[in-house]
Amino acid sequence: EEWQLQLVSYLAARLGPVSLAVNALLFEAFFFLTCVMYGFTSATTTRIGMHVGAGRVAQAKRVVRIALVFCGGTGVTVTVALWLLRDYIGRVFSDDERVISMTATVIIPVAAGYGLLCFFYVSMSMLSGQARNGVVAVSFFVGAWLVAVPLALVFGLAMHKDLLWLWIALVCGYAVVTLIAGIAALNSDWEACVAAAAARSAAKHKAVDAPDALRAAKADAAKGARNGTGVLRGGTAAASEDGERTA
């Protein structure tokens, strides 16, 4: 994702200094607003992972529902706020009227992208809590590099040469990311996730206990060897004594 955003920044720079300035301030605003979502995602992932590891599927699903309510509410609130304040957001970062005007236009797909990503964060936290991070990586690769980047090249540079279309391409990529992760999350086999978590835990404990078991086995072997040597010596001494009596 970071490389994708760097590429979009490069494409924005090719459109001119005003487009580059607007793109930079939109990134700043976007990532500032996503800080809350990242924090909540980390907490949700931890809670889901804890419940899955303990085999409590019902509690894990309850955490998902809470996350949906929180993230959905946050997404709707921020999206509406960005749309209502679209004429003022640019003034926080610049006094240039060209920057302020372009920001008011481009903020609309930015708000839509934020709303989509809020639901993606729920899917990501759920999949990460189930130890299915590979699905998250695939969804980001497909959405970012197979959808967003090609569309940005076509829409933003070849067809329209406009920052607005660069962000429309980004939103299309985020929509695909959200769709793939959402489908994977909705089709989760919770029982299989619980079984996989139990298997990983057992393997981890086995690996941790292996050195102790090896040391115990070596100690038993050494003890057995000492006992065997003692018996052998005792038997030899008894045989010698019997031989002397016979003689």
pLDDT at res. 216? 60
Residue 208 reports pLDDT greater than 80: no
pLDDT band at residue 123 using 50, 70 and 90 as cut-offs? very high
pLDDT at res. 214? 55
Sequence-ordered alpha helix ranges (H) in the chain: 2-15, 17-53, 57-84, 89-93, 97-129, 133-141, 149-151, 163-186, 190-246
More confident residue, 203 or 130: 130
pLDDT at res. 219? 63
pLDDT at res. 157? 79
* Phi-psi sector, 77: left (phi>0), alpha (psi -120 to 50), beta: alpha
Cβ-proximal residues to 116 (8 Å cutoff; 6+ apart), any chain: 75, 171, 174, 175, 178
Compute the average pLDDT of residues 82-110: 93
Compute the average pLDDT of residues 115-143: 93
More confident residue, 39 or 176: 176
Tokens of 148: 């967003």
Residue 243 reports pLDDT greater than 70: no
Residue 78 reports pLDDT greater than 80: yes
Q: Pick the closest to residue 112 from 160, 78, 146 (CA basis).
A: 78
pTM of the predicted model as reported, rounded to 2 decimal places: 0.78
Distances, alpha carbon 61 to alpha carbons 46, 53, 197, in Å: 13, 13, 16
CA distance 134 to 125: 13
What would the pLDDT profile of 211-227 be if each residue is shown by its tens digit?
655 566 566 666 666 66
pLDDT at res. 244? 46
Can you list the pairs that 192-196 forms with residues at least 24 positions away whose Cβ atoms lie under 8 Å?
Answer: 193/52, 193/130, 193/131, 193/132, 194/52, 194/55, 194/57, 196/131
pLDDT band at residue 73 using 50, 70 and 90 as cut-offs? very high
CB 23 within 8 A of CB 12: yes
CA distance 242 to 247: 9
Is residue 54 classed as helix, strand or coil in its secondary structure? coil
Give the CA angle between residues 89, 95, 98 to the nearest 5°.
80
pLDDT band at residue 246 using 50, 70 and 90 as cut-offs? very low
pLDDT at res. 247? 43
Q: Return the domain boundaries, the chain.
A: 1-188, 191-227
Residue 4 reports pLDDT greater than 70: yes
What would the pLDDT profile of 143-173 be if each residue is shown by its tens digit?
999 999 999 999 877 787 889 999 999 999 9
In the Cβ-directed half-sphere of 43, how many Cα atoms lie within 13 Å? Answer: 11
Counting residues of the chain whose pLDDT is more than 90, the rounded percentage is 66
Looking at every residue in the chain, the average pLDDT score rounds to 85
Can you list the pairs that 24-32 forms with residues at least 24 positions away whose Cβ atoms lie under 8 Å?
Answer: 25/90, 25/92, 25/93, 25/94, 25/99, 25/103, 26/103, 26/106, 26/107, 26/110, 26/167, 28/93, 29/89, 29/110, 30/110, 30/113, 30/114
Calculate the CA 217 to chain-centre distance: 42
